[in-house]
Structure 1
Amino acid sequence: MRQEPRQEPAPRLEQLRVHEARGHTVLELRGEIDIAAATEIGPYLDRVTDRPGVRVVIDLRHIDFFDCSGLRLLYRAHHRVLDGGGQLQLVCVHPLTLRLLRVTGLSRLLPPRPTLDAALDRSEASSGPV
């Protein structure tokens, strides 16, 4: 008997919530995003960003701590999405994280938006009518 491929469920990670909004996969990172969290989140983020033409929003509004491990996640996701012809938007309001994004130059690649709606609107404006 032939088995049909099964779609993998969203991960059950304390630091990650996943949902769909207006044709985008929204990844909400929560709590402390350090090397331990990044190790758990990384494989799932790779699977999401590996799809051609994927539209992703990474939402950092619910983080308490974000270090260079989180920066690596963002940088890797950015390149994977662009290589597949997709779009990646970032939501961030945390002052220390915004500073970290500016100091490292990552804010030039992924300009942070203050709300999920702003990120979704930006993505839709850059892709034109669907």
Structure 2
Amino acid sequence: MDEQTVEQVGLPLRVDVTRREHATLLTCTGEVDLATVSLLRTVMNDEVVEGRVDLVIDLRGVDFMDSSGLGALIGAHRKTRAFKGGLRLVVTTPALLRLLAITSLDRVLEICSTLEEAWPADG
């Protein structure tokens, strides 16, 4: 298991990266918006480029997300699928669940309520 924390001074977003054999867990804490989305997008892209195409993104610590954050998740979903991988989100925050529902992204993205549910069976 390999762990890393990615953050930029002054930005209200931190991404903890935990790499395991069968998937990578990205644990996000803070806000995902126009000011911070490039950090999340870069981390997700770097994982896929390095061949880690099964991503679990834990959004339980995210207290705000705007359309740029949703766009980054859609982009990561498309990219992981293109490389025969997958993207699963862990979401429990009512506001974020509502945002995913009203944009119908809950029909496109795999949304789980626990890490155990999101983690690949063989990982």
TM-score normalized with structure 2 length: 0.83
Whole-Å separation in 1 of the counterparts to 2:86 and 2:110: 12
The amino acid that maps onto 2:73 is L
Q: Does 1:12 align with 2:6?
A: yes
Residue of structure 1 equivalent to 2:86: 87
Q: Which has the larger displacement, 43-52 or 67-76?
A: 43-52
Size of the aligned set, in residue pairs, is 116
The amino acid that maps onto 1:25 is T
Could you tell me whether the CA contact under 8 Å between 1:50 and 1:81 is conserved in 2? no
Give % identity: 33
- Unpaired stretches in structure 2, ≥5 consecutive residues: 8-12
Could you tell me whether the CA contact under 8 Å between 2:24 and 2:52 is conserved in 1? no
Deviation at residue 20 of structure 1 after TM alignment: 2.6
1:4-83 matches, cutoff 5 A: 10=4, 12-13=6-7, 14-21=13-20, 23-52=22-51, 54-83=53-82
Name which one, 1 or 2, has greater alpha-carbon Rg. Answer: 1
Whole-Å separation in 2 of the counterparts to 1:17 and 1:11: 4
Deviation at residue 89 of structure 1 after TM alignment: 0.9
Deviation at residue 10 of structure 1 after TM alignment: 4.4
The runs of at least 4 consecutive aligned structure 1 residues that moved more than 6 Å come to none
Give the structure with the larger helix fraction. Answer: 1
Residue of structure 2 equivalent to 1:6: none
Residue by residue over 1:69-124, the C-alpha shift from the partner in whole angstroms, topping out at 9 and shown as x without a partner, is 1101110000000000011111000101001111111111113111111111xx33
TM-score normalized with structure 1 length: 0.79
Whole-Å separation in 2 of the counterparts to 1:72 and 1:94: 19
Residue by residue over 1:5-42, the C-alpha shift from the partner in whole angstroms, topping out at 9 and shown as x without a partner, is xxxx9463142111134621001111111111102221
The 3-state SS of whatever aligns with 2:6 is coil
Superposed CA RMSD in Å reads 2.1
